Structure 1
Amino acid sequence: MREQVAQLTAQLHEPGRAAEEVRITRTTLLGLPAPPAPKLPDHPAYQQIMAVFTAAEHPLRARQVCEPMDLAVAPNNMHNVRLKLKRLAGRGILTETEPGLFAQPRP
């Protein structure tokens, strides 16, 4: 009977220990410095692309980015913009929510 009481007592203390470990982990993570923000490439086209995404309310494709940048919707222009969008996604400045569809990451 004492053995059962000891086992039940140990089981009662287990959630408290787990909660304490979670609290310690949370405190540790909150104390870590934030990673530096990714740096935007210097080329003016990237500034224009980010302005388009700042004004947009939904994810965009390369074609939808070309239009507000006053670029002709031609295969070469869309390809160049798509490459820039991929580069921005690779740096974590944009996210590719599905193939060819880009958005700013949500905080």
Structure 2
Amino acid sequence: MREQVAQLTAQLDELGRAAEEVRITRETLLGLPDPGPPAPPAPKLPDHRAYQQIMAVFTAADHPLRAWQVCEAMDLAVAPNNINNVRLKLKRLAGRPAAGS
């Protein structure tokens, strides 16, 4: 009987330590900040190559650009037709939902 009591006491001590570890883990998890909802995926750019080029130009730029400057950076002739086409593409890109909003 004493041996059985000793075994049960050892098991009880082990379960007590495990319960304490669970309590500490729970307190730690409850203390972590709420991660919030996941960010939505970035909107997909149109498949046309010009949109990819425009985004590359703005990624490389360190300041705001005008439509004619984008034409220059894309090696397009700075002509009214090209400027207007780039301006239209810029308006379409600006009208798309931003990443993370």
Q: Shorter-chain TM-score category?
A: 0.5 to 0.7
CA-to-aligned-CA distance 1:55-107 (integer Å, 9 cap, x gap)? 1001111001000111000000000000000000001xxxxxxxxxxxxxxxx
The TM-score, its normalising length taken from structure 2, stands at 0.57
Partner of 1:98: none
**CA drift at 1:36:** 2.1
Aligned-CA RMSD value? 11.7
| % same residue | 90
| Higher radius of gyration, 1 or 2 | 2
Could you report, residue by residue, the CA deviation over 1:16-49 in whole angstroms, capped at 9, with x for unpaired residues? Answer: 9999999999999999921221110000001111
Change (3 A) 1:12 1:30: same
Q: Which has the higher helix share?
A: 2
TM-score (norm 1): 0.54
Report the CA distance shift for 1:4/1:21 in structure 2 as closer, same or farther (over 3 A).
same
Q: Unaligned stretches of 5+ in structure 2?
A: 33-37, 97-101
Count of aligned pairs between the two proteins:
91
